Amino acid sequence: MKVAVRTLCEFAAREGSLEHRYTPSPTADEGIKGHKALQARRPASYQPEYLLEGECAGIRLRGKADGYVTDKSVPTLEEIKTHRGDLARVGIGQRQLHMAQLKVYGALLCLRDNLSSVNLRLVYYDITKDFETPLDKQFDSQTLITFLSALCLRYHEWYCQESAHRKRRDESLMHLAFPFPEFRTHQRSLSENVYKSISIGLTLLLEAPTGIGKTLGVAYPALMAMPRRKLDRLFILTARTTGRQLILDSLAKLKPASDSDERLPLRILELTAKEKVCEYPDRSCHGESCPLAQGFFDRLPAARQAAIEAYWLDQTQIKILASSHHICPYFLSQEMARWSDVVIGDVNHYFDQQAILYGLTRQNGWRVVPLIDEAHNLIDRARGMYSAQLNQHQLRKTALSAPDSLKKPIRSVQRAWSKLIKQHIDGLSTSKINDQLLDLNTVPTELNTSLQRLVSDLTEYMTDHPVVPELQSLLFDTLSFMKLTEHFGDHSLCTLSIKQRTTKGKRPGYDASLWIRNLIPADFLTERFTQAHANILFSATLNPAEYYQDLLGLPENALWKTSPSPFSSTQLDLRIVNLSTRFNDREGSIKPIIERIEQQFRSAPGNYLVYLSSFAYLDLLTKSFKEHCSDILSITQISGMNETDRVEFIQQFRNHRGIVGFAVLGGAFSEGIDLPGDALVGVFIATLGLPPFDHYHDQLAIRLQSRFQQGYRYTYLYPGIRKVVQAAGRLIRTPQDTGIIELIDDRFDSQEVNALLPEWWRKSGAE
């Protein structure tokens, strides 16, 4: 085991309280830019990214100092730390950690070159003001070596424990038993594809239908590959919170081959969002505000030891451990992400701009394999991760209750908004101004100076006052937008939206929004996939492969495999109905659709789901259905349903029979729900599922046509058919299920669309 210098210091040199104040930290990319900016100013003898390695107390250490200069009698090692705003806001604990890291580098240099002393320079660089604050201090070698030895001795017991755990883990995984007497139909070949892909370090797109046991079929061979390919971590990532429990249930079934009652020596962690586990959501995450942050690092060692002995670290267990040690459950789980073999989390934990799992992978040089469940969702999720919005209305609303100290910077931003709006509406008539959407070639700079001042003043205020949700939201939205402006390119769209605002007794004014919307996430995700040893993306709908490969930025040598379905076409009565559901034909389609639903229900009573393309279409159909079929029990999805309402909607199907449910395609009831047996006997889909032909999708099609020559297919056809297949997939969940699927739209009968439907579906002719 090689230990990164930063990892050693974060383990052994931290003490005191958490210090997560409202000091906006630079992103990883901003930090890299800051480092390069300073390194470029250094003399010719300056060696950037200077590698240092060595051994102390049996621990092999490795790290890179930001710079090394040898043009003086006493050589200088430099460490650069980027920040924003007042340096005084960098806490004492953080400064001690930064200096500890530099002192370890100094000790390694002295040991390697037999130096008597070395000069250490810690540089704090404000990326906003382009201002550096150097802190120089000369140390003799004995002081530095003594300091290093103390850290290594503190870490040594943990290091030996981790080495022993890794050995036990790998030995057990070499003989890992499959938890059932035999694989399900086609599950073995699925597992073989996963194992082979990891073994040769390739990215695999794996399309496999529900019912084949995808989760276990993917996780089992990945765990088998861990000791054989010397993998450090597996990340099992999902786009939906509900998917995590299925993953945990599958992993809970795994046992060592030697003894079915013995616990697998595998640390499994469930990462959860901060808002779901935070005990004091109204407090800031530092010792002066939150009692669970006070003395966090002093109590962390005991909690960490208890956690590694527990092995199974789901959300419930983390809360129990955190409570017993009186520390923050969220930051305990963040700490355990460093020491767990398998981490289950959301896709943003690896793919987001400041993703913890990606950051730890780079820091420690881990060999990792992300296993991405329901990977068809990753395109839209990633677009959201790399999109941001500034809203003038939000600023105006926040200004009404803002403290006096923030009114001046808020007014400054409002004036900048007015200038920006005026620049783009001059010469336009009032009728043309309202709801104006302007696509900009670059992100406008008119707001930059005032936004930077606002961020600085918001940070200063929020550091010293209780959390105000409106101010917090304004700060985070502003920061998110400003970060994305630095990476704006043809992968994203910048849109200025202007709407007229009428205030009683005053002249009409305007409200504007400025969007950066990511269109092609590949430009941000490619590095994430490249960093991993291998990547496994699995779902029931990953066809066609080139669509996902292009938009996600997968390696050119990525493989695409499809597993045969365990289901038979005899289980399914597929009907393609020759009827237009295009926008202009919707009113005329209502009556024949209702007649088909009624005819099917009368002939074979049971539970049915009907999917429409929009809430407007849904309202038209359900109103007419209730008038025409008042004796048939029906339930309808409502826009903005909360979690409780969604659960109740599904429970109706599980607890009752003879229900017709109406839902929007692509919504909460289109995927991720399980209705086996007679809980669902039929599905009607009255739409091709195409996204709306609006301004955003028009621009998306233009950009995708320019980049991939696939504007229509990548924007409309493939996402639409994917939603159709996912929704229809609610019907046949086991080899014993039967039912009918009616695809109501004449376009379903085209060769191009038919080719995108699952092969096992029986293609009967149009009616």
pLDDT digits (tens, 9 = 90+) for 712-721: 999 999 999 9
Res. 147 pLDDT band, cuts 50 70 90: very high
- In this prediction, residue 766 carries a pLDDT of 46
Q: What is the mean pLDDT of residues 344-352?
A: 97
Say yes or no to pLDDT of 436 above 80. no
Bridge partners, 663 (sequence order): 611
Query: Do residues 538 and 237 touch, judged by C-beta distance below 8 A?
Result: no
- In this prediction, residue 185 carries a pLDDT of 86
Any residues with CB less than 8 A from the CB of 663 and at least 6 apart, and which?
609, 610, 611, 612, 618, 636, 637, 669, 670
Name which of 25, 54, 2, 121 is nearest 483 in CA terms.
25
Res. 505 pLDDT band, cuts 50 70 90: low
**156: Cα within 13 Å, side-chain hemisphere:** 11
Res. 671 pLDDT band, cuts 50 70 90: confident
Chain segment 554-596, per-residue pLDDT in tens = 999 999 999 988 888 899 999 999 999 999 999 999 999 999 9
More confident residue, 396 or 462: 396
Helical residues (DSSP H) of 74-140, grouped into ranges? 92-113
- Sorted by where each begins, the domain ranges of the chain are 2-157, 198-212+219-271+337-386+521-566, 395-517, 569-754
Max avg pLDDT among 388-402, 487-501, 515-529: 515-529
- In this prediction, residue 764 carries a pLDDT of 44
| Number of CB atoms found within 10 A of residue 579's CB | 18
Chain segment 258-317, per-residue pLDDT in tens = 655 677 899 999 999 998 899 998 888 888 889 999 999 999 999 999 999 999 999 999
Mean pLDDT of the chain: 91
Any residues with CB less than 8 A from the CB of 493 and at least 6 apart, and which?
439, 515, 516, 517, 519, 696, 699, 700, 703
Say yes or no to pLDDT of 460 above 50. yes
Q: Which two tokens stand for residue 607?
A: 């539970």
Judged by average pLDDT, the poorest of 77-81, 88-92, 387-391, 603-607 is: 88-92
Max avg pLDDT among 75-89, 239-253, 733-747: 733-747
Res. 110 pLDDT band, cuts 50 70 90: very high
Q: CA 350, 351, 356 angle in degrees (round to 5)?
A: 40
**Type of residue at 447:** L
Res. 735 pLDDT band, cuts 50 70 90: confident
pTM (2 d.p.) = 0.91
Q: What is the mean pLDDT of residues 349-375?
A: 95
Query: Do residues 86 and 457 touch, judged by C-beta distance below 8 A?
Result: no
Chain segment 514-551, per-residue pLDDT in tens = 999 999 999 999 999 999 999 999 999 999 999 999 99
| Reported CATH class of domain 198-212+219-271+337-386+521-566 | alpha beta
- In this prediction, residue 503 carries a pLDDT of 67
More confident residue, 289 or 599: 599
In angstroms, the CA 739 to CA 189 distance is: 27
- Report helix, strand and coil shares of the chain as percent, to nearest 5: 45, 20, 30
Phi/psi of residue 232, nearest 5 degrees: -90, -40
Judged by average pLDDT, the poorest of 70-84, 90-104, 683-697 is: 70-84
Q: What is the mean pLDDT of residues 683-688?
A: 96
Res. 428 pLDDT band, cuts 50 70 90: low
Max avg pLDDT among 33-47, 117-131, 520-534: 520-534
pLDDT > 70: percent of the chain: 95
Q: What is the DSSP letter of 717?
A: I
Could you check whether 198-212+219-271+337-386+521-566 and 569-754 share the same CATH topology? yes
Tell me which residue has tokens 């983390």: 318
Res. 493 pLDDT band, cuts 50 70 90: very high
Q: What is the sign, positive or negative, of the torsion defined by CA atoms of 169, 173, 179, 181?
A: negative
Q: What is the mean pLDDT of residues 174-187?
A: 91
Any residues with CB less than 8 A from the CB of 550 and at least 6 apart, and which?
522, 707, 708, 710, 714
In angstroms, the CA 422 to CA 320 distance is: 56
In angstroms, the CA 341 to CA 325 distance is: 23
| Reported CATH class of domain 569-754 | alpha beta
Name which of 710, 705, 761, 709 is nearest 732 in CA terms.
761
Q: Which two tokens stand for residue 255?
A: 């046992």
Res. 765 pLDDT band, cuts 50 70 90: very low
Q: What is the DSSP letter of 565?
A: P
Tell me which residue has tokens 């404000």: 126
* Architecture (CATH level 2) of domain 2-157: Alpha-Beta Complex (3.90)
Kindly give the interhelix angle for 296-310 and 329-336, rounded to the nearest 10 degrees: 60
- In this prediction, residue 448 carries a pLDDT of 87
